[in-house]
Homo-oligomer: A and B are copies of this chain.
Amino acid sequence: MGSSTAPVLNTAATPGRLADVYSEVQKSRLNYPLPLPDVLKRPFQIVDGPPSSAAGNPDEIAKLFPKLFGQPSVSLIPAESFRLDQKLKIGVVLSGGQAPGGHNVISGIFDYLQDRAKGSILYGFRGGPAGVMKCKYVELSSEFIYPYRNQGGFDMICSGRDKIETPEQFKQAEETAVKLDLDGLVIIGGDDSNTNACLLAENFRAKNMKTRVIGCPKTIDGDLKSKEVPTSFGFDTACKIYSEMIGNVMTDARSTGKYYHFVRLMGRAASHITLECALQTHPNITIIGEEVAAKKQTLKNVTDYITDIICKRADLGYNYGVILIPEGLIDFIPEVQQLIAELNEILAHDVVDEGGMWKKKLRHQSQLLFEFLPQAIQEQLMLERDPHGNVQVAKIETEKMLISMVETELERRKQIGQYKGQFKGQSHFFGYEGRCGLPTNFDSTYCYALGYAAGALLHFGKTGLISSVGNLGAPVEQWTVGGTALTLLMDVERRHGKFKPVIKKAMVELEGAPFRKFASMRDEWAIKNRYISPGPIQFHGPACNDINHTLLLELGAQA
């Protein structure tokens, strides 16, 4: 099923992209046939599971979601016949950063409505949640959607980082829902956006509105997942793009034999991307933020760990290598957090004298750490400030900082005869290149199923669920489809004296299968060169449907 037969390209009717200037690969992706899980191809019904609880503090979650708490997650199962002749008016919105596959979620919703609820209307809210609040939308048609099928980016309707969370914002969303007579709204986003999706679902239900809300798990960071939601879309593609580049840099390192490439990878909160890229490429050194935090490591510890391996490799005649670093590394190091807090305080209230007397206001340990930092980083900490006067940690180029600190330490060891090699560091940041690539076959298919399922859940009147497609290790035909109660994923955090619901970010688990596999191999990778070059993502031929290691290992561990 799936109405993906190509209409005649009507460029006049597509105010967005013009598929007639597409590259050959883009064109070939337009008509890539998207398989659906069997259950979505035939008549199905929806069955409820047992009542659900919460990921933590169920009593508080129950208070925050009096209407929705406890509702069951649901599964789609085959049925004798399919009789729902209700036409729907549905809205869809993209929330937060781009992830490859977002356009396919929208295609999936659209095709569901075409296939199962002919005559329905799908509105795309423009520019993220702000589009919902301001009622800025476009009515999506087959012609409008066609050029975006299996294409990267979020530009079909664009995204935004606004949130719908205050009473006034809820009111605006209500007005839009009433004005467009919405039966449902699909919110495609990460942990925060899905938390807000659930609050909105609760609010609509509390006001006895007919508008239902369904979430979809999106983030390249891979930190929105649970037993029920095996992965967020975009992670697969982004990691494969970064791994292609890492593999190329590895081959370069081995060929020239004279550079250490320090590669910082996108992913501020969790280190899933870094871990996955390590599993795909086998770098000499990989720093996982969650491990650094668990072991309460200092910046000096991390520097020494890297330097030790560089020295060992030099003894073996290797003066090159590849090192992966998660973007959020600094956030995992408690002493750095402490230093930054103190700096914020001092910079806000004290005079920073050229003589450096101000440094005495730092606690002893922070002072040592500050002196340990390369001068460029010291300056960055002092000069780059956000509008609130705070140090901008996100601006620190961690890879360059580490190169500089490793250089200093190697120089010291050289002086005392402990190191005789040559060291040249090359820094890289792989980020934007991965967020908007053409989605892999997996992300294309997974997103299409997520969207199609979201349509089905709304059609059956469900709300407060996140679209869930499982059994992903099996062929697509056998994938399971359902919806997970968003409240089941929630815990609370205390902020400003109040409980706030949160879907906790799924961090790299040190006891999880992906990290354990990595940990079992990293000593070998450090010394021997076991580089793998995954090469560019392929849409045809062998391995084009392979899924990423993280997901595969987690599925295997679950089985």
Chain A residues 394-435 with CB under 8 Å of chain B are 426, 428, 432-435
Chain B binder among A42-50, A249-257, A348-356, A448-456: A249-257
Please name all residues of chain B whose beta carbon is closer than 8 Å to the beta carbon of A26 when the two chains form the complex. Answer: 532-535
- Cα of A21 to Cα of B261 in the assembled complex, Å: 21
Please state if B249 and A432 are interface contacts (CB–CB under 8 Å): yes
Please state if A436 and B25 are interface contacts (CB–CB under 8 Å): no
Please state if A252 and B153 are interface contacts (CB–CB under 8 Å): yes
Please name all residues of chain B whose beta carbon is closer than 8 Å to the beta carbon of A534 when the two chains form the complex. Answer: 23, 25-26
Please state if A152 and B248 are interface contacts (CB–CB under 8 Å): yes
- Cα of A153 to Cα of B531 in the assembled complex, Å: 12
Task: Report if A514 contacts B (CB, 8 A).
Answer: no
Task: Report if A84 contacts B (CB, 8 A).
Answer: no
Known contacts A28-B543, A241-B248, A426-B432; decide if A254 and B155 are in contact (CB<8 Å): yes
Please state if B252 and A543 are interface contacts (CB–CB under 8 Å): no
Chain A residues 134-168 with CB under 8 Å of chain B are 151-155, 158-159
Please state if A436 and B154 are interface contacts (CB–CB under 8 Å): no
Known contacts A245-B433, A426-B432, A533-B438; decide if A25 and B252 are in contact (CB<8 Å): no
Task: Report if A536 contacts B (CB, 8 A).
Answer: yes
- Cα of A261 to Cα of B537 in the assembled complex, Å: 23
Please name all residues of chain B whose beta carbon is closer than 8 Å to the beta carbon of A475 when the two chains form the complex. Answer: none
Please state if A255 and B158 are interface contacts (CB–CB under 8 Å): yes
Chain A residues 232-281 with CB under 8 Å of chain B are 241, 244-245, 247-249, 251-252, 254-257, 259, 261, 280
Known contacts A152-B251, A436-B248, A543-B28; decide if A536 and B533 are in contact (CB<8 Å): no
Task: Report if A24 contacts B (CB, 8 A).
Answer: yes
Chain A residues 509-548 with CB under 8 Å of chain B are 530, 532-543, 546
Task: Report if A108 contacts B (CB, 8 A).
Answer: no
Please state if B438 and A536 are interface contacts (CB–CB under 8 Å): yes
Residue total for A at the interface (Cβ-Cβ under 8 A): 57
Please state if A248 and B23 are interface contacts (CB–CB under 8 Å): no
Chain B proximity mask over A194-220: 1 for CB below 8 Å, otherwise 0: 000000000000000000000000000
Task: Report if A470 contacts B (CB, 8 A).
Answer: no
Task: Report if A225 contacts B (CB, 8 A).
Answer: no
Residue of B nearest to A247 (CB): B23
Which applies to chain A's interface (DSSP): helix, strand, loop or mixed? loop
Please state if A535 and B438 are interface contacts (CB–CB under 8 Å): yes
Please state if B159 and A248 are interface contacts (CB–CB under 8 Å): no
Task: Report if A95 contacts B (CB, 8 A).
Answer: no
Oligomer copy total: 2
Task: Report if A358 contacts B (CB, 8 A).
Answer: no
Please state if B536 and A432 are interface contacts (CB–CB under 8 Å): no
Please state if B433 and A248 are interface contacts (CB–CB under 8 Å): yes
Residue of B nearest to A426 (CB): B432
- Rounded to whole Å, the gap between the CB of A239 and the closest CB of chain B is 13
Residue of B nearest to A16 (CB): B254
Task: Report if A437 contacts B (CB, 8 A).
Answer: yes
Partner of A436, one of B153, B255, B426, B538: B255
Please state if B536 and A98 are interface contacts (CB–CB under 8 Å): no
Please state if A25 and B536 are interface contacts (CB–CB under 8 Å): yes
Task: Report if A22 contacts B (CB, 8 A).
Answer: yes
Please state if A29 and B432 are interface contacts (CB–CB under 8 Å): no
- Rounded to whole Å, the gap between the CB of A549 and the closest CB of chain B is 11
Please state if A155 and B251 are interface contacts (CB–CB under 8 Å): yes
Please name all residues of chain B whose beta carbon is closer than 8 Å to the beta carbon of A254 when the two chains form the complex. Answer: 153, 155
Please name all residues of chain B whose beta carbon is closer than 8 Å to the beta carbon of A280 when the two chains form the complex. Answer: 23
Please state if A537 and B536 are interface contacts (CB–CB under 8 Å): yes
- Rounded to whole Å, the gap between the CB of A23 and the closest CB of chain B is 4
Chain B proximity mask over A3-37: 1 for CB below 8 Å, otherwise 0: 00000000000000010011111111100000000
- Cα of A27 to Cα of B426 in the assembled complex, Å: 29
Partner of A536, one of B153, B249, B435, B538: B538
Please name all residues of chain B whose beta carbon is closer than 8 Å to the beta carbon of A537 when the two chains form the complex. Answer: 536
- Rounded to whole Å, the gap between the CB of A276 and the closest CB of chain B is 14
Known contacts A21-B530, A541-B28, A542-B28; decide if A251 and B536 are in contact (CB<8 Å): no
- Rounded to whole Å, the gap between the CB of A248 and the closest CB of chain B is 5
Please name all residues of chain B whose beta carbon is closer than 8 Å to the beta carbon of A542 when the two chains form the complex. Answer: 24-25, 27-28
Please state if B248 and A434 are interface contacts (CB–CB under 8 Å): yes
- Contacts A23-B280, A248-B434 known; list 17 others, CB within 8 Å: A21-B282, A23-B533, A26-B534, A29-B535, A152-B251, A153-B254, A155-B251, A158-B257, A241-B536, A244-B437, A244-B536, A252-B432, A428-B432, A438-B533, A438-B535, A536-B536, A539-B541
